[in-house]
Structure 1
Amino acid sequence: MPLRDLLLGLAVIAIWALNIIIIKVGVAEMPPLLMTTLRFLLVAALLVPFHPVARHQLPFLLLLSVTFGTLHFALLFIGLGQAEAGTGALLVQMGTPFATLLAVFFLRERLGPKRLIGLTLSFAGVVVLAGGPTLPSPLPLALLLLSALGWAVSQLLIKRGPNIAPLALAGWVALFAVPQVALGSLLFEGDHLEAMRQAGWAGWGAVGYTAVMSSIVAYGLWYGLLHRHPVNRVVPMTLLVPVLAVLLGVLLLDDTLGIHKLAGGGLVVAGIALIVLRVRPRRAEA
Structure 2
Amino acid sequence: MPVPDILLALLVQGLWGMNFIAAKVGADNLPPLTLTAIRFAIAAAIVVPFMPRPRGQALRGVLILSVTFGTLHFGAMFTGLSMVDAATAAVIIQTGPPFSVLLGVLIFKEVIGWRRILGLVLAFAGVVVVAGEPQMVSVVPVLILLFAALSWAVSNAIVKTTRDLPALAVTGWLSLLAIPQLLVLSWLFEDNQLETVRGLSWEVWGAIVYIAVGGSLAAHSLWYSLLRRHPMTVVAPWGLLAPILGIAAGILVLGEAATWQKLVGGAITLTGVGIIQIRSARKGRPVGTPPDEPEAHLGDAPEAAPNRKRTTP
Range into which the TM-score falls when normalised by the shorter chain = over 0.9
Query: What is the percent sequence identity of the aligned residues?
Result: 45
Look up the equivalent residue of 2:201 and give its one-letter code.
G
Task: Give runs of aligned pairs for residues 105-254 of structure 1, distance below 5 A.
Answer: 105-159=106-160, 161-254=162-255
Assess if the C-alpha contact under 8 Å between 1:70 and 1:177 holds in 2.
yes
| Aligned position for 1:68 | 69
Match of 2:17 in 1: 17
RMSD, aligned CA: 1.4
Report deviation, 1:230: 0.6
Q: Which runs of 5+ in 2 are unaligned?
A: 283-313
Give the letter aligned to residue 3 of structure 2: L
Are the counterparts in 1 of residues 61 and 161 from structure 2 also a CA contact under 8 Å? Answer: no
Counterpart of 2:188, as a letter, is L
Cα deviations by residue, 1:72-114 (Å, 9 ceiling, x for unpaired): 1111111111101001000000001000110111122221111
User: Structure 1, residues 172-211: CA drift from partner, whole Å, max 9, x if none?
Assistant: 1101110111111111112222111111112211221111
Deviation at 1:130, TM superposition (A): 1.1
Is the CA contact 1:29–1:200 (under 8 Å) kept in the aligned structure 2?
Answer: no
Partner SS, residue 112 of structure 2:
coil
SS in 1 for 2:134: coil
Which residue is 1:45 aligned to?
A: 45
SS in 2 for 1:277: helix
Q: Mark the runs of 5 or more structure 1 residues left unpaired by the alignment.
A: 281-286
- Specify the SS of the correspondent of 1:94: helix
- Residues 1:6 and 2:2 aligned together: no
Aligned partner letter, 2:86: A
2:187 maps to a residue whose letter is L
- Whether the aligned pair in 1 keeps the contact of 2:59 and 2:162 (CA below 8 Å) is no
TM-score, normalised on structure 2? 0.86
SS at match of 1:190: coil
SS in 2 for 1:253: coil
Partner SS for 1:132: coil
Change (3 A) 1:134 1:19: farther
Q: Work out the CA distance in 2 between the residues paired with 1:199 and 1:189.
A: 17
Alpha-carbon distance in structure 1 between the residues aligned to 2:69 and 2:97? 14
- Counterpart CA distance in 1 for 2:253 and 2:233 is 32
Q: TM-score when scaled to structure 1?
A: 0.94
Q: Deviations over 1:188-240 (max 9, x none)?
A: 11222211111111221122111111221011111111111111111111111
Whole-angstrom distance in 1 between the partners of 2:184 and 2:234? 41
CA distance in 2, matches of 1:273, 1:193: 42
AA of the residue aligned to 1:67: T
Say which is worse superposed, 27-36 or 12-21, in terms of deviation.
27-36
Residue 160 of structure 1: how far off its partner (Å): 5.1
Q: 1:134 to 1:227 in 2, by over 3 A?
A: farther
User: In 1, Cα distance between the equivalents of 2:135 and 2:97?
Assistant: 22
Q: Deviations over 1:29-68 (max 9, x none)?
A: 2211111111101101100111113421211100011111
Tell whether the 8 Å contact from 1:170 to 1:215 is kept in structure 2 after alignment.
Answer: no
SS in 2 for 1:93: helix
Q: Which whole-Å CA distance do the structure 2 matches of 1:143 and 1:164 have between them?
A: 31
1:284 alignment partner in structure 2: none
Q: Which stretch shows the higher mean deviation, 53-62 or 118-127? A: 53-62
SS of the residue 1:137 aligns to: coil
Q: Distance in 2 between matches of 1:7 and 1:114?
A: 30
Q: CA deviation at 1:5?
A: 1.3
Contact 2:162 2:170 in 1 (8 A): no
Tell me how far 1:161 sits from its aligned partner: 4.6
Letter in 2 for 1:262: L
